[in-house]
C-alpha cells in the first residue's frame, strides 16, 4: 500500500512539473517599463512612420518624374494615387508633431494650406528657374503637399494630362524633389545611427537627455502631441470650416481627401497610444492599463467612436459642411471628447505616476 501511494505521489509530481514547463512565457501587456514605452515609441512609431513617409515621398518624386516624360493619363493617375498613399503616412505622423518636424519647421514647409492661388499663378507666369534653392526660398503656401495636390488634381479633381503646361510640369517636379528632401531629412533626424539624432534625445529621457530631463517630460510630450492633433482636427481643420461655411478653407479639397486625412490623424493618435506603426511595441496603453483599466477602455472606445463618426460623413468634406452639418458636428464632438480625456485624465495619470 505504501509503495502504491508513493507511485501516485510521484505521478502527481511529474504531472505538475509538466504543467509548469508548458506554462506560457510570452510577456503579458503589463510586462513593461516606462523606458520600454519610450524606446518602442521611438523605434516602432516615430522611426517606422518617418521611414515610411520618406520612402513614399521618394516614390512620389519618381512617379512625377515618369509623368514629366510621358505626359500620359496613366502616369498621372499613378501620381495621384501615390500622393494619396503618401498623404496617409504624413497624416498619421501628425500625432507626433514634436522634435525636428517642429523645431526645424518641416511641418509648415510641407503642409501649409489653403493654396495661395494668386502667388502660385504668378510663379507659373514668371521666368524663375525652379532650382532647389529657389523652391526652398518660397513662402510655405507655395510648396509642399497642397500645391502638388492642386497641380495633380486640378480645382475639381478632374485634371487630365493634356491640361498640364510645360511650366506646371517644371514646378511640380521641383516641388516633389523638395518634399522628398525634407521628409528624407526628417527620417534621418530620427535615425539612431546618425549624429545628434532625436531618437537618442527621446529614449534617454531622465538619464542624460537635454530635451527631456525626466521621463515624465517625454510622456507629457506624447500626451500633448496626441491631444494637440485631436484639437487641430476637431476645432481647426473641421470646426473653423464648418463655422465659416466656407469650402475654400478645406485642407485637401482637390483630391477630395480631407475626411481620409482626418481619419488618418486619429489613426496616428491610436498608433502613439498603442505603441505601433507597423510592428507592435509597448505603448502608452501599457502604462494606462497598469494604473487605470477603465481609462484605457475609455480612450480606446473614444478612438473608435471618433473614427466611426468621421465615417458617417458620406460626401466630400467641402460639401458635408453644407449638406451634412449634423454628422460633421458629431464627429467634432467625438474627437473633442477624446482630446478632453487625454488632457484631463491621461495627463494627470502620467504626472501622478511617472517621475
**Structural domain boundaries of the chain?**
34-353
Confidence of residue 279 (pLDDT cuts 50, 70, 90): confident
Percent of the chain having pLDDT more than 70?
Answer: 92
pLDDT higher than 80, residue 49 = yes
Residues constituting the chain: 355
The DSSP secondary-structure symbol of 96 reads: G
Mean pLDDT value across residues 36-51 = 97
Find out whether 76 and 313 touch, Cβ atoms under 8 Å.
Answer: no
Of 199, 204, 228, 200, the residue nearest 347 (C-alpha): 228
User: Of 106, 118, 119, which is closest to residue 145 (Cα–Cα)?
Assistant: 106
Reading the block at residue 10, the C-alpha cell is: 510521484
| C-alpha distance across the termini of the chain, in Å | 63
Fold of 34-353: A middle domain of Talin 1 (1.20.1420)
Nearest CA to 111 among 183, 216, 12, 38? 183
**Separation of alpha carbons 218 and 209, rounded Å:** 10
Mean pLDDT of all residues in 94-113 = 97
Amino acid 30: pLDDT? 56
Q: Which three cell numbers stand for residue 98?
A: 514634436
Over the stretch 84-97, which tens digit does the pLDDT of each residue have? 999 999 999 999 99
SS3 175: helix
Q: Which three cell numbers stand for residue 235?
A: 476645432
Chain segment 141-153, per-residue pLDDT in tens: 999 999 999 999 9
For residue 4, pLDDT over 50 is answered with no
More confident call, 172 vs 27: 172
Whole-number pLDDT of residue 238: 98
- What is the rounded CA–CA span in Å between residue 185 and residue 54? 8
Task: Name 276's bridge partners.
Answer: 280
Answering whether pTM is above 0.75, one says: yes
Q: If residue 149 lies in a helix (H) or strand (E), which one and from where to where?
A: helix 145-153
Mean of the pLDDT values across residues 227-248? 98
Please, what is the average pLDDT of the chain?
Answer: 92
* Confidence tier at 2 by pLDDT (50, 70, 90): very low
Can you give the pLDDT at residue 32?
82
* pLDDT tens readout for residues 327-339: 999 999 999 999 9
d(CA 161, CA 33): 54
More reliable by pLDDT, 111 or 4:
111
Beta bridge partners of 150: none
Amino acid at each position: 500500500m505504501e509503495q502504491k501511494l508513493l507511485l501516485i505521489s510521484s505521478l502527481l509530481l511529474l504531472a505538475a512539473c509538466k504543467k509548469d514547463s508548458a506554462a506560457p512565457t510570452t510577456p503579458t501587456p503589463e510586462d513593461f517599463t516606462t523606458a520600454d514605452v519610450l524606446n518602442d515609441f521611438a523605434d516602432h512609431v516615430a522611426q517606422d512612420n518617418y521611414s515610411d513617409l520618406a520612402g513614399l515621398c521618394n516614390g512620389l518624386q519618381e512617379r512625377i518624374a515618369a509623368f514629366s516624360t510621358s505626359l500620359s493619363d496613366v502616369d498621372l493617375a499613378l501620381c495621384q494615387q501615390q500622393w494619396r498613399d503618401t498623404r496617409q503616412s504624413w497624416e498619421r505622423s501628425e500625432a507626433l508633431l514634436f522634435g525636428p518636424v517642429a523645431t526645424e519647421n518641416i511641418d509648415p514647409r510641407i503642409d501649409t494650406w489653403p493654396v495661395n492661388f494668386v502667388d502660385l499663378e504668378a510663379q507659373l507666369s514668371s521666368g524663375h528657374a525652379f532650382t532647389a534653392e529657389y523652391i526652398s526660398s518660397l513662402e510655405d503656401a507655395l510648396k509642399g503637399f497642397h500645391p502638388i495636390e492642386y497641380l495633380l488634381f486640378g480645382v475639381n479633381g478632374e485634371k487630365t494630362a493634356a491640361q498640364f503646361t510645360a511650366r506646371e510640369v517644371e514646378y511640380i517636379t521641383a516641388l516633389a524633389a523638395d518634399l522628398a528632401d525634407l521628409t528624407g531629412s526628417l527620417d534621418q533626424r530620427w535615425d539612431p545611427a546618425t549624429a545628434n539624432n532625436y531618437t537618442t534625445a527621446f529614449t534617454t529621457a531622465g538619464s542624460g537627455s537635454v530635451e527631456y530631463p525626466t521621463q515624465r517630460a517625454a510622456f507629457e510630450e506624447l500626451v500633448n502631441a496626441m491631444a494637440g492633433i485631436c484639437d487641430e482636427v476637431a476645432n481647426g481643420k473641421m470646426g473653423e470650416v464648418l463655422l465659416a461655411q466656407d469650402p475654400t478653407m478645406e485642407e485637401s479639397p482637390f483630391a477630395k481627401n480631407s475626411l481620409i486625412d482626418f481619419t488618418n490623424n486619429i489613426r496616428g493618435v491610436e498608433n502613439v497610444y498603442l505603441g505601433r506603426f507597423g510592428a507592435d511595441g509597448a505603448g502608452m496603453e501599457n502604462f494606462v492599463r497598469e494604473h487605470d483599466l477603465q481609462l484605457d477602455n475609455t480612450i480606446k472606445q473614444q478612438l473608435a467612436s471618433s473614427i466611426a463618426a468621421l465615417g458617417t460623413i458620406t460626401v466630400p468634406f467641402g460639401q458635408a459642411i453644407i449638406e451634412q452639418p449634423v454628422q460633421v458636428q458629431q464627429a467634432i464632438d467625438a474627437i473633442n471628447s477624446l482630446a478632453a480625456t487625454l488632457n484631463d485624465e491621461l495627463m494627470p495619470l502620467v504626472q501622478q505616476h511617472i517621475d
